[in-house]
Amino acid sequence: MEYEISPDYLPISPCSLRTNTTVGCDIYLLAKTTIEVRFVLYCRGDAVFDETKKDMLVAQRIKSLFIKKDEQETYFDYLENNFQHIVSDTSIPTDERIKIVHSAATNLVKDLYNDPRSGNVERTKTFANNMVDYVIKDSKAAESLLKLAVHEYYTYTHSVNVAAVGTLFGQDLGLGVNDLKGLCAGILLHDVGKTRISADILNKKGKLTKEEFEIIKKHPEFGIEVLEETGVQFKEERIITLQHHENDDGSGYPYGLKKDEIQPCGKIARIIDVYDALTANRSYKDALRPFAALQEMKDEMFHCFDTELFREFIHFLGPYDPRKRAKISSKRYTTLAR
């Protein structure tokens, strides 16, 4: 028998709840009978989620809990505040931890784009640091992150996907921890300038007019304005925000930089940004499969990318097994910002 779940409730993973903490929002169980589906209060938001409650979920093999949709911000704040504890809990399967990381990151970026004030920028930086630490410590996290793809193109999910793939690619290139953290935070912030562009233009179904595209092309500079207004001085974040649409042959924007005028972190962001856009469903274009996306990048956009770096990216996207694939030996990418 099929049941229709109320849109007023959202499912969450029991794995996301840390024992001996208060979540801040009420947690519900889904109760099904032959005549109805109803939500039963399981743990009040101000009550401690203790070992007894966790053991009951395990014993009953409960796979999903629920929260009220209007309390999801409280839940995501809880995930963010308990990030380190959740991702370090080896009793949680890696795939589950990655889903939690991705959902928390998406909510964070959503907050950032809704209100790009200093506090949200700082949250982004902190989250990026924690995410990089997690990826480095958990060898299985990389493979799970690559498998987890949100194929609908939204500004929030796009930024998270690009940051995840960019971090893994940077790790594959041999970048150090600090550079990886700068890269991850920079890519999470790279489209923040779009907060100053009309949603009618950003979400337009169909081809943009010349005038509309000229407005879109201003978003890297708008992004720098946002970062300056919030007092951000992070070098990689500023570079990536400004340079992620610059092309290797000088045909990009906003400044028409080329070759080594573009910083390595800007070159990495350019490749990942295009790849994710091509492999996601857009309002005006269906997603391409990974191989087809790489083929289009090679045939139609090769002039946009650093040749060596693009080849390394193709190699990186092969069957993911760091033990079987040679690392890049070039010293060009051992640091991100010259």
Task: List 28's β-bridge partners, or say none.
Answer: 41, 66
Quote the pLDDT of residue 323: 37
144-202: pLDDT as tens digits:
777 765 555 566 778 888 898 899 999 999 999 999 999 999 999 999 999 999 989 98
Quote the pLDDT of residue 336: 58
pLDDT class for 4, splitting at 50, 70, 90? low
Q: Is the pLDDT of residue 284 over 70?
A: no
d(CA 239, CA 48): 44
Quote the pLDDT of residue 151: 54
Which sign, positive or negative, has the C-alpha torsion 79, 186, 297, 171?
negative
Average pLDDT taken over every residue of the chain: 86
C-alpha closest to that of 87 among 123, 21, 150, 136: 136
Quote the pLDDT of residue 155: 65
Range 65-92 average pLDDT: 91
Please give the residue that has the higher pLDDT: either 26 or 236: 26
Q: Is the pLDDT of residue 85 over 70?
A: yes
Amino acid, single-letter form, for residue 176: G
d(CA 337, CA 235): 7
- Residues listed for the chain: 338
Residue that is written with structure tokens 């519900």 in the block: 28
Q: Is the pLDDT of residue 272 over 90?
A: yes
For the chain, domains (ranges, CATH) are 1-69 (no CATH), 82-316 (1.10.3210.10)
pLDDT class for 26, splitting at 50, 70, 90? very high
Range 289-314 average pLDDT: 94
Quote the pLDDT of residue 1: 45
The single-letter DSSP state of residue 222 is H
pTM for this predicted structure:
0.83
Please give the residue that has the higher pLDDT: either 234 or 224: 224
C-alpha closest to that of 266 among 312, 304, 209, 231: 304
Range 281-303 average pLDDT: 86
239-250: pLDDT as tens digits:
999 999 999 999
pLDDT class for 330, splitting at 50, 70, 90? very low
Quote the pLDDT of residue 5: 64
